[in-house]
Amino acid sequence: MATRAAIITIDNRIMTSTYNHYDGYPEYLGKALETHYNSDELAKKVSGEGYISYIDDETGEMNVSNPRDKDIKPTTDDFGGMGVDDMAYELAKEINSMGVDYAYLWSPSAEEWLFAPTAMKMEDFVDAFALGIDPPYEDDMADYDSIDNMEE
């Protein structure tokens, strides 16, 4: 059974996300992102794939084979003109439409991946990802939950 995940970056109010089909739970995909895709450049690379079957947590190698469509583009949305709460709500709606179990958001200011299970109540999910949207989009944000703070 697949544990699906969304991998997301936001740069200049443009959200880019890719779908990861297998092993999307924090102990596997979360650790792979933290270990192998832990910079702005690498986070943008992985979020720009469009479709990933899985990422090897030991090597960081992406398996991007997709049996149905070899050329799936990443999802992009322009959040221009939105406040941080509206951006987070739109992000939550996009993630919900992907049908994933987990979502990972790169936080450039914290230089780490934030994650949340998508089974959270919408308000909690919005709050979780509002914290990962970086200045100049907000005034005062704290770290919500990072892979480093993940419970075993």
120 Cβ neighbours under 8 A, 6+ residues apart = 128
Cα–Cα distance between 152 and 149 in angstroms, integer? 9
Q: Residue 129 phi/psi, 5° resolution?
A: -90, -20
75 pLDDT above the threshold of 50: yes
pLDDT in tens, 48-74: 998 999 999 999 999 987 656 666 788
pLDDT over 90 at 6, yes or no: yes
- Residues for the chain: how many in total? 152
- Distance (Å, whole) CA 38 – CA 66: 25
pLDDT digits (tens, 9 = 90+) for 103-129: 999 988 788 898 888 877 767 766 766
Indicate whether 39 pLDDT > 60. Answer: yes
| Confidence grade of residue 95 (pLDDT, cut at 50, 70, 90) | confident
